[in-house]
Structure 1
Amino acid sequence: MPNTGNYYLATLKKTHLGWGTHRKTNSRPQINNESYLPIPSKYALSFNITNLHFTKQSNIYKFSTSDNFLKNEELKASGNRKKGDIYAKNLHGYGDLKLLGKWFKHIQAQIGDQIKVEFISPTEILLTKI
């Protein structure tokens, strides 16, 4: 699990802002406003941010945004870089893939904007637009 104070900066790209419509596959219908935050592999490893393949810790994190638009919501760490890998590569709304999209719209996020992903405890995250 991450340590209190661990953080990284995520630079938003088109795919992060429009995950539901900017896709490489046609495995499901396109859905507007789905978004996610990337987890660079060096941070996933050094902070021990794992996905569902690692069952000794949760991959669900409580989170809020520093502007208080979202409070006490949940993010899920998911995905992997190769089959069976335990380290996550994405953070997205748990049970609501549009959750981050709502906040991105609120802060008028654009390609190139940076989001600080800060662990305020091993199980809680604070998101801040830089």
Structure 2
Amino acid sequence: MAHAGDFYQVTLKRTHYDWGMYRTTETRDPIAGEGYIPIPKEYAERFHLLNSNGTNKMDVLGQNLFYYRTADGFRHGILRAQGCHSAGDIYAKQFSENGDLKAIGAWFAYIGAVEGTRIEVTWESEDSVVISRV
């Protein structure tokens, strides 16, 4: 479990800030404005960031749901840890705003995210994070 002061940084690729349009899967029609924050596997394991496989399909604050705010004040809400690196894996591979794949995409647009933009996720408490551009 993550604690206040824990953090990780990631470098964005186009697929992160333009997820709805720049996809390698054709499981649905393109949707402009979607984005997500990747969670590298080592941090998912270290901070026990679980997807629904790991929470028995339940929502658990501090495991697959986190209160969040952006450091610049643009967004706040609840992040959902989701996805997996391989079928059945319990560790999440990305954060998106709960129920809104466009929320993080809107923040990426606001900060002018491009390939190579660095993002930091910092824990304020076990169930609350701040996301910022580095």
Q: Normalising TM by the smaller chain, what interval?
A: over 0.9
Question: Normalising to structure 2: TM-score of the pair?
Answer: 0.92
Counterpart residue number, 1:2: 2
Deviating beyond 6 angstroms after TM superposition, the runs of 4 or more aligned structure 1 residues are none
- Structure 1 gap ranges (5+): none
C-alpha distance after superposition, 1:69-110 (max 9, x if no partner):
113x11110011111111000001110000011111111111
Corresponding pairs, count: 129
Q: Secondary structure at the match of 2:92?
A: coil
Mapped partners of 1:106, 1:24: distance in 2 = 25
CA RMSD of aligned residues (A): 1.1
Question: Normalising to structure 1: TM-score of the pair?
Answer: 0.94
Q: CA deviation at 1:113?
A: 0.7
Q: Secondary structure at the match of 2:78?
A: strand
Mapped partners of 2:85, 2:55: distance in 1 = 18
- Structure 2 gap ranges (5+): none
Counterpart residue number, 1:99: 103
Counterpart residue number, 2:55: 55
Identity of aligned residues (%): 39
Counterpart residue number, 2:71: 66
Mapped partners of 2:115, 2:124: distance in 1 = 26
- Residue identity opposite 2:18 in structure 1: G
Q: CA deviation at 1:27?
A: 0.5
C-alpha distance after superposition, 1:32-75 (max 9, x if no partner):
0100011000100011111111227441111000111113x111
